[in-house]
Amino acid sequence: MRLLVIPLINLLVLLRVLLGLPFRLLGARSRPAYVRFRLAGNPPYRERPRRSRLPLGLGGQSRPEPATVTSLEGFRKALEVLAKDEKVKGILLVMEDLEVPPAKREVLVKLLEGFRAAGKRVVAWAVSVDNLGYQVMCAADEVLLSPAGRLELVGFAAEATTLGEGLGRLGIKAHFFRRGAYKTAPELFTHARVSDIERQTVESFLDERYVDLVDSVARGRRRTPEEVRAWIDSGPYSAKRAMAGGLIDGMCDEADLPARIGAKEDEEEGLEPMPMYLARLPWPPVRWRPLRPRPRLGVVPVSGMIVPGKGAAGRMAGSETVVKALRSAARNRSVKAVVLYVASPGGSAVASELMLEAVQRVAKKKPVIAFVDQVAASGGYMAALGAKEIWATPHAVVGSIGVFGGKFETSELMEKLGVHRTLITRGEVAGIYSSSRGFTERERALMEAEMEETYQAFLEHVAKARGRTTEEIHALGEGRVYSGTRALGVGLVDKLGGFEEACRHAMGLAKVPAEQRFDLQMYGGPDRGFSLLKLLLGGASAGTYAFCPTAWSLLGFKAGERFE
């Protein structure tokens, strides 16, 4: 049936192209010398598949304006088309509240550098831009700001929080146990001040990102690292100050951009988006339907805090949802390989281990690559261990091999509120989960033993997956957190690379030729929001968790839990 339908569809596509040819020929001479792109938010790696409601890395559901970059892959293809057109001089890149992780920023920079290497010009313009946006703009030939604009080049900051003293004032006591001096998660609830270990961990990540900021700006603006550091220490900047200091090349209102870059005066607003350019191209790129269906790569996201069940209301990766998604990907014969996209700081130790087992089962049937561009820490890293290889980007947060557990005691709070509860038990440890009191000595010993057992199991999982001894992993564990670059150095990940590279590698392991195109198919997906406090207070109060608050504080999780 497909052999009959697909030629018919391609014939209709060809007829459509031929019918529009006269109109495109009429406009071909007036096609723009510069094409406008709008870079905003967090564009996905690839366009969302039509058959799926789930974001494939993902933007919003509303239709964007024509100039908006809707995927990094689409942007790459557009630049390839423009680079081959002799009439096109370059592009205008309008920046608006860009919020991509460092991994996507690197992709954007490489795309712009490649476009410039083809002899084309890149002009970047913004009203207001921060560190991240400025790093992308520095890959352009010319950097412009609105006269009313600002450049928020100020370096990086992360706020580590402790709630111990505040909870105490409310009458809530946190009773937690942990395995690993670097497993600082319970300190959020038990400490009055941030510990030296937590501070040092955060500082190590800030150091790496600061060096990267200095290097990228120095390279793009052709300045020395010392000059860039002085720029950062003198920020933020008004557009006028930025221009006087040489941080930008000029100031220009949006309406004056066409004249500034030398676009044609008769063009609407002086610059046209990519769809308008294609409408004036005699032979635009056409996506023909293949006679044989393309091989598929399954993508299963583990996004947000890991919890048992379906995840429900919250940006949570429910073990039930992820396990079902993995099973579906394994059953689908057209799916040749699977990429486990991990963007999680961890969560429930039990749920994380269920995910690990499911990944291992799929990996016995087809290649599975775990990819991390933001965070795979603690339980998130545990889930990734079942893959054949773990790929990470240089600034991803990886590791935090350790566990903690405990409960909150609210007896003082209840007393302040005039609420009186009497705990009546049968059995020496029947009240272990009660929030009416703390742990007895017997209960403390049982909890300590459970933490040790869970931690040793975690070490064994990592040691087996990474081909190391538990002693070697323990030396890397105890809650220590690594960047992707450092994780590669100590052997916790296999390769550094981007999303497209990881996908192509996974298909290569499945014996799919490197030149053959493939489609992505999403399975499962993220839910809506999350609460660490809700996780720890809900269900069994004395649970066991594998969670990394350092990743939480570094990424802020504005969009960090979604497959983006």
CATH 3.90.226.10 fits 296-405+480-555, yes or no: yes
Q: Hey, how many other C-beta atoms are within 10 angstroms of the C-beta on 35?
A: 27
pLDDT-derived band at 553, boundaries 50, 70, 90: low
**pLDDT digit string (tens) for 393-445?**
999 999 999 988 889 999 999 999 999 989 999 999 999 989 999 999 999 99
Above 70 in pLDDT, residue 557? no
Above 60 in pLDDT, residue 314? no
Lowest-confidence pick of 291-295, 319-323, 515-519? 291-295
- The rounded distance, in Å, linking the Cα atoms of 126 and 93 is 8
296-405+480-555 matches 2-10+25-154+235-279 in CATH topology = yes
CATH 3.90.226.10 fits 2-10+25-154+235-279, yes or no: yes
pLDDT for residue 299: 94
Report whether 134 contacts 217 (CB < 8 A): yes
Above 50 in pLDDT, residue 59? no
Lowest-confidence pick of 30-34, 128-132, 226-230? 30-34
Report whether 39 contacts 98 (CB < 8 A): yes
Q: Where are the alpha helices (DSSP H) in 467-498?
A: 470-476, 484-490
Tokens of 94: 């309008």
**pLDDT digit string (tens) for 249-304?**
999 999 899 888 876 655 444 588 888 777 777 667 767 666 577 889 999 999 88
DSSP labels, 397-432: EEE---EEEEEEE-HHHHHHTT-------SSTTTTT
Nearest to 374, CA basis, from 129, 530, 158, 554:
554
pLDDT-derived band at 316, boundaries 50, 70, 90: confident
pLDDT-derived band at 515, boundaries 50, 70, 90: confident
- Domain limits, the chain: 2-10+25-154+235-279, 296-405+480-555
* Residue that the structure tokens 């096109």 belong to: 88
Tokens of 331: 């059953």
Q: How, if at all, do strands 495-496 and 375-377 pair?
A: unpaired
pLDDT for residue 404: 87
**pLDDT digit string (tens) for 355-387?**
999 999 999 999 999 999 999 999 999 999 999
Strand locations in 294-354, DSSP E? 296-303, 305-307, 316-318, 335-343, 346-348
Q: Where are the alpha helices (DSSP H) in 234-348?
A: 239-244, 257-261, 274-279, 319-331
Above 80 in pLDDT, residue 6? no
- The rounded distance, in Å, linking the Cα atoms of 162 and 68 is 40
Backbone angles phi, psi at 175, to 5 degrees: -110, 105
pLDDT for residue 514: 87
Quote the percentage of the chain above a pLDDT of 70: 81
pLDDT for residue 259: 87
The pTM (predicted TM-score) of the whole model is 0.84
Q: CA triplet 318, 342, 359: central angle to 5 degrees?
A: 70
